[in-house]
Amino acid sequence: MRTALLTLALGAAACGSGGSGGPADAEVINCATETRDDTFVVGLEKAGDAGMLDFKLISADPAPPARNDNTWVIQVNAMSSGVVGAPVDGASLSITPFMPDHQHGAGKSVLVTPEASPGQYKLAPINMWMPGLWETTIDAQSASGNDTVVFRFCIPS
């Protein structure tokens, strides 16, 4: 436990310095110049890498995603030959927020809760605790197939 806390503290300290040696908050992130992110819209839909599942961002709180804890509801549907099919209930989802430029995660586990609507899942907290590009990877295993998708959002300073 002590080693894990030390590792987390050292990782946060390493992230905490921008090029000027000041705290991360002093580093200005201009998301308008970020080209690797997705354009946030409610209803953003992406096919999984394997083409087995389709993932749709039904809601985000806050919207657009912002610093600290975020809550998303996603819709997972089966896919066949690029055509979106029926909602997928009973999927096992693993959610991994990651900041590629700093090589660290969020430090909090994301809980997945099935919603009342077929194929919908609540993801919370998605903790994007500092400004910059965040990649949130969703790995899904289901009877309709296994697939992975990545949502990329820039969190402004």
Residue 5 scores a pLDDT above 50 = no
Q: What is the average pLDDT score of the chain?
A: 88
The pLDDT tens digits of the residues spanning 52-102 come to 999 999 999 999 999 999 999 999 999 999 999 999 999 999 999 999 999
Chain Cα centroid distance, residue 116: 22
Burial 39-74 (b: 16+ CB within 10 A, else e): ebeeebebbbeeebbbbbbbebeeeebebeebbbbb
Domain extents in the chain = 2-155
- pTM assigned to the model: 0.84
Fold of 2-155: Immunoglobulin-like (2.60.40)
Predicted local distance difference test score (pLDDT) of residue 26: 56
